[in-house]
Amino acid sequence: MKIGIIGAGNIGGNLTRRLTALGHEVSVANSRGPQTLTALAEETGAKPVTASEAAKGAQVVVVTVPLKAVPDLPAGFLDGAAEGVTVIDTGNYYPQRDGRIAAIEDGLPESRWTEQQIGHPVIKAFNGTYAQDILDRGRPQGTADRQALPVAGDDPAAKQAVRDLIDELGFDTVDGGGLDDSWRQQPGTPVYGNRGDADAITKGLAEASPERTAEFRA
């Protein structure tokens, strides 16, 4: 599968490592330019590109940048993607880093805000996952206590594509509902940073409160 990754921080870098190891064709971009991705490219075989080029021909695009950087993504960066491209949003709103985003403070789910900024539906996944776990905690399907990740989004086919990819990475998934329900996996909720199995994640999603905790408010 052809996959574009925009953002080469902890999550983006480790997804690049794992997805290339699984045989996917990965293009990776960051805000500083492809010349700064030489080491990652040499390590993984991924192709370093600009953010404008990352989605070219891609069936899946991962947007894994700070929320404050989402509005600065190149206009039309998805125009060259494969028809029906699935976009994964891994982002979280951290007001100490991102500044105050009024719509999110007023209750708009973070990934709905990101979707509005980029003008394309997104699937929320990996936002509460420790980056190192992507490298270290994948297990074969059927393994007892296999770690599970919540996945939220409105497009059933896109959501299934993401769940299949996560399964390939070695994790179970739990359907987190539509994107309007994705607040259930935002920072401060029971599943954020939760390394539990599918039962634990299902329970955590059900127990989530829509009220943002003080730690994650501006």
For residue 134, give both structure tokens: 């992507």
Mean pLDDT along residues 208-215: 94
Segment among 65-69, 184-188, 213-217 with least mean pLDDT = 213-217
* Per-residue model confidence as pLDDT tens digits over 124-170: 999 999 999 999 999 999 999 899 999 999 999 999 999 999 999 99
**Which of 97, 34, 35 lies closest to 70, judged by CA?**
97
Q: For a pLDDT cut of 70, what percent of the chain falls above it? A: 100
Question: pLDDT band at residue 182, thresholds of 50, 70 and 90?
Answer: very high
123 three-state secondary structure: strand
Phi, psi of 89 (to 5 degrees): -105, 120
- One-letter amino acid identity for 121? P
For residue 191, give both structure tokens: 């599943």
* Per-residue model confidence as pLDDT tens digits over 7-58: 999 999 999 999 999 999 999 999 999 999 999 999 999 999 999 999 999 9
Quick one: which H or E segment has residue 174?
strand 172-175
What b/e readout covers 189-198, taking b as 16+ CB neighbours within 10 angstroms? bbbbebebbb
Mean pLDDT along residues 120-125: 98
C-alpha 155/C-alpha 125 separation (Å) is 14
- One-letter amino acid identity for 65? V
